[in-house]
Chains A and B, each alone.
Chain A
Amino acid sequence: MWGDWGEIPRSGLSYAALHNAVFAFLAKRFATFLATLFAASVLTFVALEVLPGDPARVILGVDAPDSAVAALRQRLGLDGPPLERYLDWIGHLARGEFGVSYTYSVPVIELVRDRLQVTVPLALLSMALAAALALGLGLYAAAHHNRRGDVVVMGLSQLGISIPSFWLSLLLILAFAVSLNWFSSGGFPGWRNGFGPALAALVLPAVALATVQAAILARFIRSAVLDTMREDYVRTARAKGLSANATLWRHVLRNALIPVVTILGLQFANLLAGTIVVENVFALPGIGRLVLQAINNRDVVVVRDVVVLIAAAVIVINFVVDLLYAAIDPRLRARDV
């Protein structure tokens, strides 16, 4: 908290040691990151290509002549030995070359680029909303442990966890689009037509997504804060003369955030899954809607590439969380060396 170190000289030795430790930590986490990414691509490939079922046959129907099916298989890149096709696919992906959509006849990367302009702001907006809401509620509940405020917040969070996000979306549409007419019930005007309308179109979906996330997060924050408040160093801080509030902000919160950050990372996977559903409720042209449409059109190329992209996004987020973790907890930097 006191960033200014004054005139105290920096010791060169310790700085170098710290630098090495951080580097070793990053290297190890990066290796895990690559391994996980590899596993995700294999899983996707195996799920889509080795499982029984023939997308080409599904697209063309049971009555289609075998020759047509074979031709489509070739077009979809479903020919040849699996290993060869996997290497071919992953090799292209590594160079940033995505497949070409069967239904749109457009490179997948272009489809994705447009859709990300909806999904990324939506995910960030709802994560921010969820984190802010959960932090407030969780801290409030912990500070009022076992009192009325705590019971109310925990009851609300229990309710929030139980409500499916797509139903909450429908309720929000009912309340704010049908009855009050504050927001539209769906669709997206695009960013080119002004920032305000585009953002307004994302408000209800973000609230729907954030509510569930916040309900889960608030519980974790509450119990993490309660656990931390029992620690000896919190008593030490009080013994120094810090007020209960100052102790909460300066000593409890940062330590309590360590377990919360892990949950936040895992929550992000849920959040992305949630965007798939919520985008469809609000007819938002995002990644989730793209995937669903691709499935309905049996566009295997799009499904495969987008699924790997989403998985990669989740893995990247978890990697970032790992780094964040190390930034919060100095013990970790040393432990892994």
Chain B
Amino acid sequence: MTLAVENLSVTLATARGPLAAVRGLSFTLGRGESLGIVGESGCGKTMTALAIMGLLPEGAEVGGRIVWDGQDLLSLADDAMGRLRGRRLAMVFQEPMTALNPVQTIGDQIAEALLVHDLADRVGAMREAVALLERVGIADPERRVRGYPHQLSGGQRQRAMIAMALACKPDVLIADEPTSALDVTVQQQILGLIRSLAAERGMAMLLISHDLAVVAGNVARLLVMYAGRGVEWGETAQMFGALAHPYAQGLFRSAPARALTATTRPRRLPTIAGQVPDLVTLGEGCPFAERCDLVEEPCRSRMPEWQALAPEHRVACRRAEESLRRWKP
């Protein structure tokens, strides 16, 4: 059961006009595989995730195909999609503070996932909720299952969210910035938990983050997005050995973890010059053209074709070779 995103586009209606949040995005995620999507906020990561779940905001227009288990999810009716949501495709959201219902107990919210899909009766669902809380590492699960979200810390809430997403043993888990709202010390624990649970249950995992360091150690493949488009894709280790897209290189260099570990003395973090383009007025060319130091005239008018640098490594850049030459991992 492969999840295949084909030429996905998402357009949002804004007061200033249609905003192209995602444009021509394609990738596949096979059974048990893991993929990380990396990019700045506003690059279309979250919209991609919501498109897969069929939860795009009202007024969003979506194009292309999202094929899963032989059917195009985009053409499914909402009730058919509802049977897949939570059951086969599950999602962990960014803000554990606001993503849990404040007036229901943790147990009720986890049990609800099972009850909606008729996977348990009430008593069984509650017992399962306790087991799930225990599995995601919450101490004293019998007590916590009766607690309300405000009684938990941020890390515990995110663990509860994960428990909720895992309740129906889904085939695909989408985690959208699962650790961005958490303390640094908690971040790695949560990521480790998600990765080990995915491996343990054979789930495919889509990990979305703005932070290259967060994603790199936890996924087999990486997709770098910029301004709604995919710009580089590859097997993680292979890619870090040969980052080719100028934007991906900039993203890597500006990651704080590397700045602190690569040199003995702390140094200034390099930043990418210029600004993220306006997605309402953006044209057909490479979206990074205005900020790229290797830019050529054709870059501005047409989106570069994908080219293979290795069997498991592709990049959408006309100047990939020049760019690659200056890359020092």
Contact = CB atoms under 8 A, between A and B. Distances in A.
Interface of A: 1-2, 4-9, 11, 13-14, 231-233, 235-244, 246, 250-251, 254-255, 258, 328-331, 334
Interface string B115-141: 111000011111100100000000010
A251 B100 CA distance: 10
13 contacts: A6-B127, A7-B127, A11-B142, A14-B146, A14-B147, A231-B98, A232-B99, A236-B109, A240-B112, A241-B87, A242-B116, A243-B78, A330-B103
Interface string B135-157: 00000101101111011000000
A150 to B, nearest CB: 13
Contact of B78 (A4, A11, A244): A244
A231 B101 CA distance: 9
A231 to B, nearest CB: 7
Contacts of A329: 102-103
Contact of A240 (B79, B86, B130, B140): B86
A8 B85 contact: no
B82 A11 contact: no
A102 B126 CA distance: 65
Contacts of A251: 101, 104
Contacts of A233: 98-102
Contact of B85 (A9, A238, A334): A238
Nearest to A250: B112
A251 B108 CA distance: 11
Closest A-B pairs by Cβ, 10 of them: A241-B86, A6-B123, A240-B86, A232-B98, A241-B85, A233-B101, A232-B99, A330-B148, A240-B113, A11-B143
A80 B150 CA distance: 57
Given A4-B122, A233-B101, A241 B116 contact: yes
B55 interface: yes
A24 B126 CA distance: 30
Contacts of A241: 82-87, 113, 116-117, 168
B163 to A, nearest CB: 12
Interface in B158-205: 161, 164-165, 168
A288 to B, nearest CB: 37
B142 A331 contact: no
B90 interface: yes
Nearest to A5: B126
B47 interface: no
A89 B253 CA distance: 80
B122 A242 contact: no
Contact of B90 (A5, A237, A239, A246): A239
A240 B214 CA distance: 26
A239 B150 contact: no
- What range describes how many residues of B lie at the interface? 35 or more
A6 B131 CA distance: 14
B126 A239 contact: no
B322 to A, nearest CB: 43
A100 B200 CA distance: 81
A236 B53 contact: no
Contacts of A243: 78-79, 82
B235 interface: no
Given A6-B124, A6-B126, A11-B142, 18 more contacts: A2-B126, A6-B122, A7-B123, A8-B126, A11-B143, A233-B98, A233-B99, A233-B100, A239-B86, A239-B90, A241-B83, A241-B168, A242-B112, A243-B79, A255-B101, A328-B103, A331-B102, A334-B150
A331 B150 CA distance: 7
Most chain A CB within 10 A, of B79, B99, B109, is at B99
B91 interface: yes
Nearest to A246: B116
B239 interface: no
Given A1-B108, A4-B122, A244-B78, A239 B101 contact: no
B93 interface: yes
A255 B112 contact: no
A221 to B, nearest CB: 17
Contacts of B112: 237, 240, 242, 250
Contacts of B86: 239-242
Nearest to B145: A8
Contacts of A11: 140, 142-143, 146
A125 B5 CA distance: 57
A330 B130 CA distance: 21
B151 A235 contact: no
Contacts of B286: none
A226 B112 CA distance: 23
Nearest to B83: A241
A230 to B, nearest CB: 9
Nearest to B87: A241
Contacts of A235: 55, 93, 99
A205 B164 CA distance: 50
B290 interface: no
Contacts of B55: 235, 238-239
Nearest to A333: B148
Contacts of B113: 240-241
Nearest to B54: A238
Nearest to B101: A233
A246 B117 CA distance: 13
B95 interface: yes
Contacts of A331: 102, 148, 150
Nearest to B100: A233
A275 to B, nearest CB: 33
B148 A8 contact: no
B111 interface: yes
A18 to B, nearest CB: 9
